Structure 1
Amino acid sequence: MRTAYQYRLRPTASQVALMGEWLELLRKQYNYRLAERFNGWEQNRCNIHACSLTVCHLPELKDKPDFDSQKRDLVNTKALFPEYQAIHSQVLQDCVERVQRAFDRWLKGDCNGKRAGRPRFKGVGRYRSFTFPQMKQDCIRGQFIHLPKIGPVKLVQHRPLPEGFVIKTATITRKVDGWYVTLSLQDSSVPEWSPDPPTWENTMGIDLGLSSFLVTDEGEAVEVPQHYRRAQKPLKRLQRSVSRKQKRPNRYQKAVKRLSKAHQKVANQRRDFHHKTARKLLQTRKHIAHEALDIKGLARTRLAKSVHDAGWGQFLQILAAKAERAGLLTIAGDPRGSSQGCSGCGREVPKKLHERWHDCPSCGLRLSRDHNSARVIKSRAVGRPVLQAQEMSCHWAGVTVGEAWRKP
């Protein structure tokens, strides 16, 4: 089992200066290694896809930099630029590994085959963290954590580390309100979880929306807090203060810091709301079925501000992580037609977006639109429709999530 704990750091002024210098040197190293990758990729590109039988028009391939070659070249970097000798060797190697991951996500894609955009060069202040790939198990001694080549840094350990877990890595992050350390922990003795398959009794359906953040299949609604909309006026005032100042002077930097802290407060409030909502849902000890929403597509519509303010993507990630620790599942179903179908008889009841009430003319089921959608999502997850008290029969078209679960 792998988990992560984040703690706040209270470094001294000299340690802050040292870690800030590290970040700037690592930013330059990241940009240099990324430029090497781009040059090697451009030199080996060719528009010719075929050759004749007598003449080959393909150019000779040149050496293309990879992780191993760039890692070996770090010795030359330290010889040419002595300031890099102050950085821990594994921290420098992790910088090269970040370039490797960014380049692979662009050309090859991740484990699911989803490709990312072209990697960008890091501007000033855009490289905000560095990682120690290996840490000693006794690195935390009292109120201090001992970091290689940095020394003991004061740690605000607001909760103890779980017993049986081993510290694998430590990531130092600079945020607008200070420095943080994220410890990656692992416990190999924890067995792999094997959750029970979803059934009607152990599954809960939720429908995510904007009028209500979510509605369960039992009709319980969670209101949208709208943290960003409530903070719009102070954010607008702070943004106006930034735009009126000249760039780079101290007053401009102070105004940017005030604006960043205001945005961070909104993000922290939203994240706290997501954690508490996910925990409340999982206290029922049920699997959670939800829609596989196209959040990026919805964020390009007129409802973009409300979609970003709700933060559905972050909430679903937190919900999946907490469900895995609790031995439960999060089931993403097909969202098509979930608001148009009847959860009682399965027939289609067309409704426009402004119509928030479901009234089925066939079975007489009357309930709110979001409540009906949550029941439809649950029925698709378990592979059978919702039955009314009179045990009405219906048939679903296509293969549902529940049917796919039962296949070998």
Structure 2
Amino acid sequence: MRIAYQYKLRPTNEQAEKIDRTLDMLRCQYNYMLAERFNWWEQNRCSINACPLICHLPELKDRPTRFSQQKSLTQLKVDRPWYKEIHSQVLQEVPKRVELAFDRWLKGDVNGKRLGKPRFKGKGQYKTFTYPQFKQHHFVNNKVKLSKIGDVKVIVHRPIPDGFSINTVSVTIKSNGYFVTFSLEDKSVPEIQPDIRGGKMVGIDVGLIDFFVTSDNESVPAPKYLRKSEGKLKSAQRKVSRRKKGSKRRQKAIKQLAKKHRKVADTRKDFHFKTANNLLSKYDIIAVEKLNIKGMAKSRLAKSVHDAGWGQFNTILTNKAVSLRDMKSAAPLKEAKAGQLIVEVKPHGTSVECSRCGHKVTKTLAQRQHNCPNCNLSIGRDLNAAINIKNRAKVLIEDLLPPIKFETEKGTQLSL
């Protein structure tokens, strides 16, 4: 099992200066290696789809790879000796990040979805560096030993579980300070398989008035953290706009604005984790809608959709449980901390279709009650949608379950 623990760092002024300088040098090297790949792409691509039978073809250049760029780091330290201040493995992580961003643009991710063109990082935009190999005895007495930086004090608000070993360590700078993230692993912890056949099941319908409504008629109101903090955020934004660009007062105002945004994001994330844990403690199978959140975030309800944070909530659920699409794939199941199953269903028609008879009842967004003229069912709009989500998830699970075989008194085999 793999988990990640994040703690806050309390570096000295000298250590904080080393971290900032390390991040800035890594940023410059990231931009340089990304420019190498862009130059190769521009010089080797062809903008036309036809050419004469006899034509001159320029000599193609070798494509920069992660390993070829890592080899160049040796000469980099000769030409620029100040790069010796950075640990070699931390510096080798830069070509890895460049290759990942570049390949996702050209080839796409695991699902074949291509991302946007990578951008050069401006000052202050490179915020994390990683030690890929870390020894356990370098984290003792509330201090972590970071190579080339020193022993940095850590606020250990919760101890590392027994049996877990530290694989990698990442240092991140945020608006509210420096943080360290430990990637922990314990191979002795077995994978927890969800109880598909006899588990307790629920369907949830997310919304903007209620964060979600379950098929058991339980609701959680939407906290609307961004809406409640708009006054303070507007005041902080005005201070930034009034300051002269490039001045220290503007930098100070930007930090104050970033802290307020960070507080909104942290409180929302805390709410998502607590809500997800509450759901996972009650149910074994949770059915959710596979929403097009990016498309909804471009509508007139964009601010409310961002404030709700449905995408982050779904990510937390799927990280703690097993997704049905993982069980259908040929790949081995990922580890599930909670031992539950998440089922994603198509959202089309869940609010229109009647959960009792299947009759379609069209309604506007303002109509919050479902009244079916066919079977006289009268329930809340969101509750009706949650029941439909649960019913659709049952159909998907039944297709996955193997038949149960048993023998009769006469010796014949039957299956259900």
- How far, CA to CA, are the matches of 2:350 and 2:67 in structure 1? 50
User: Comparing 259-268 with 58-67, which one deviates more in the overlay?
Assistant: 58-67
Alignment RMSD, CA only?
A: 1.6
Contact 2:286-2:341 at 8 Å conserved across structures:
yes
Map of 2:126 onto structure 1: 127
Work out whether 1:9 is the aligned partner of 2:9. Answer: yes
1:279-303 Cα shifts (integer Å, max 9, x gaps): 1111113211000000000001100
8 Å Cα contact 2:202-2:283 kept in structure 1: no
Give 2:339's aligned residue: 327
In the alignment, what sits opposite 1:393? none
Deviations along 1:26-77, one digit per CA (max 9) or x if unpaired, are 000000000001001111101354666x636543311211111100000111
CA distance in 1, matches of 2:83, 2:197: 54
Q: CA deviation at 1:348?
A: 1.4
Q: Deviations over 1:296-339 (max 9, x none)?
A: 00001100000000000001111112233111111110000000
How far did 1:407 drift?
A: 7.5
Aligned pair 1:43/2:55, yes or no?
A: no
Compute the displacement of 1:186 (Å): 1.2
Name structure 1 gaps, 5 residues minimum. Answer: 384-400
CA distance in 1, matches of 2:399, 2:239: 56
| Aligned residue among 334, 340, 350 for 1:338 | 350
Is contact 2:195–2:284 with CA below 8 Å preserved after alignment? Answer: no
Listed one character per residue, the Cα deviations across residues 244-272 of structure 1 (whole Å, up to 9, x for unaligned) are: 01012211111111111111110011001
From 368, 372, 382, the counterpart of 1:356: 368
**Structure 2: distance between partners of 1:157 and 1:310:** 30
User: Which residue of the partner structure matches residue 31 of structure 1?
Assistant: 31
The answer as to 2:252 corresponding to 1:254 is yes
SS at match of 1:258: helix
User: Is 1:382 aligned to residue 394 of structure 2?
Assistant: yes
Per the normalisation by structure 1, the TM-score is 0.92
> Compared with structure 1, are the counterparts of its residues 116 and 198 closer, same or farther at alpha carbon in structure 2 (3 Å cutoff)?
farther
Residues 284 and 339, structure 2, Cα contact 8 Å, conserved in 1: no
How has the CA–CA distance of structure 1 residues 211 and 72 changed in structure 2, closer, same or farther, with 3 Å as cutoff? same
Written as runs of structure 1 = structure 2, the 5 A alignment for 1:126-165 is: 126-165=125-164
Deviations 1:114-172 (A, max 9, x none): 21100000001000110000000112111211111211100111111111111110000
Q: Percent identity?
A: 53
Q: Is the 8 A contact 1:51 1:58 kept in 2?
A: no
Local SS of the residue matching 1:126: coil
Q: Tell me the SS of whatever aligns to 1:283.
A: helix
Q: Secondary structure at the match of 1:4?
A: strand
2:194 paired with 1:195: yes
- Which amino acid in 1 is paired with 2:46? C
Cross-structure match for 2:268: 270
CA positional deviation for 1:273 = 0.6
5+ unaligned residues in a row in structure 2: which ranges? 322-335, 404-416
On the 8 A contact 1:215/1:222 being kept in 2, the answer is yes
Read off the aligned partner of 1:22 and give its amino acid letter.
T
**Equivalent pairs, count:** 389
Residue 395 of structure 1 corresponds to: none
Asked whether 1:215 is paired with 2:210, we answer no
Distance 1:72 1:139 in 2: 28
The within-5 A match list for 1:260-299 is 260-299=258-297
Query: Which one of the candidate residues 231, 234, 237 is aligned to 2:235?
Result: 237
* Whole-Å separation in 2 of the counterparts to 1:208 and 1:38: 42
**Contact 1:198 / 1:382 at 8 angstroms: preserved in 2?**
no
Residue-by-residue CA offset, 1:345-395 (whole Å, 9 max, x unaligned): 122122222111011122222110000000000000011xxxxxxxxxxxx
For 1:90, the equivalent position in structure 2 comes to 89
